[in-house]
Homo-oligomer: A and B are copies of this chain.
Amino acid sequence: MNFASDNSYGAWPEIVAAIGAAAAGAVPSYGDDALTAKVRARVAETFERELAVFPVISGTAANALALATLVPPHGAIFCHGESHIAVDECGAPEFFTHGAKLVPLEGDDAKLVPETLERALAHFQKGFVHHVQPAALSITQSTELGTVYRPGEIAALSELAHAHGMKVHMDGARFANALAHLGCTPAESTWRAGVDAMSFGATKNGALGAEAVIFFNPADARDFEYRRKKAGHLLSKMRFVSAQLDAYLTGRRWLEHAARANRLAQTLAAGLSGVRGAGLAHPVEANAVFAYLPDATVARLRRRGAAFYDWLPSSDGRTLVRLVISFATPEEDVKRFLEVANDE
């Protein structure tokens, strides 16, 4: 019963098979191989437009490299205070951008709204050399609290960001889960809604370690390739990252895995709603459930082998826990978790 993170699980058999198929023979290294070219085409097709795409092996690298390409050292990056880039990357964006500043904003359910961004922007005087300069907005889709931005919500944020000369970045570590929830196309929820660049994640949804940094306007990619190399993220045997992304984007598997995880999250959420003393903390839209559980329930679940994180320390006899469903979480585990939760 592992609900600690979607990255606690391994990889799809199809992705493992793709690794094996890519292992034979000699091909050009550092991404000049045919498989990497195929991935570029696949991503372009997926998003229905010409774009620049670069495989990397971690979400932190994807985010930090994308942001560093878009933002100067004297720039400000606006993001939610709970965002992965602000909280969980040990300052990677600051390192890669050579010291740009992340401006943490508040917002219900880890989502930003234009009003909050606008208020924050009022503190930055354009061209005033003492202030870092607004350069990018970064949103997470699905968010760190398991919620999902609608295309219209993204469009409203993008419009405001662009009006202030900022670029819009999407941390799409769980983009598949968001898309499965929305039921719209990749294009509709990204560049058609004003997103300029994104970290397109495959790892959490079943790759070994594969993410794609996408610039919807290829000109924005500028010196990305030098930054990736300089950061040790240009792999000599790139074929093995590309093989993962190629298998990942074959057919609709990536969306089906995400949809299944989302469904199990709904099942889990519904079940927990019925647990005495329990309650959901945020809307469950993707593959994560944030629930307040009685401390005794939390203890019992752990005793019976459930793994998950406390999101906040216990308060008033309840603890906010995070439960994440991966592409491979057994349905059985969800059932058993609910049984144990109800087994007072």
Q: Which residues of A contact B (CB under 8 A)?
A: 2, 4-5, 7-13, 16, 19-20, 22-30, 56-62, 64-65, 72-74, 87-92, 94-102, 122-123, 129-133, 203-204, 208-209, 223, 225-237, 239-241, 307, 313, 326, 328-329
A63 (CB) vs chain B CBs: closest residue: B232
A57 nearest CB across to chain B (Å): 6
**Cα of A92 to Cα of B232 in the assembled complex, Å:** 7
Q: Which B residue sits closest to A98, measured CB to CB?
A: B98
Q: Contact at A58–B233, with CB atoms within 8 Å? A: yes
Residues of chain B lying within 8 A (CB to CB) of residue A94:
94, 99-101
Chain B residues positioned under 8 Å from A59 (CB to CB): 236
Instruction: Give 19 new A-B contacts, CB below 8 A, not counting A90-B131, A94-B101.
Output: A5-B29, A5-B236, A7-B236, A10-B22, A10-B26, A11-B237, A19-B20, A30-B129, A61-B231, A74-B229, A91-B132, A92-B229, A95-B231, A99-B230, A129-B228, A129-B229, A204-B236, A208-B240, A209-B237
CB distance from A296 to the nearest CB of B (A): 23
On whether the beta carbons of B209 and A235 are closer than 8 Å, the reply is yes
- What distance in Å separates the Cβ of A212 from its nearest Cβ neighbour in chain B? 14
Collect the chain B residues with CB atoms within 8 Å of residue A98's CB.
73, 95, 98-99
Q: Complex Cα distance A241/B237, Å? A: 14
User: Which B residues are in CB contact (< 8 Å) with A313?
Assistant: 122
How many subunits of this chain does the assembly comprise? Answer: 4
Q: Name the distance in Å between A291's Cβ and chain B's nearest Cβ.
A: 20
> In the complex, are the beta carbons of B58 and A90 less than 8 A apart?
no
From A56, A90, A129, A132, residue with most partner B Cβ within 10 Å: A90
Task: Write the chain B residue with the least CB distance to A84.
Answer: B130
| Cross-chain contact of A27 among B8, B29, B61, B240 (Cβ < 8 A) | B8
Contacts of A231 in B (CB 8 A): 61, 92, 95, 231-232
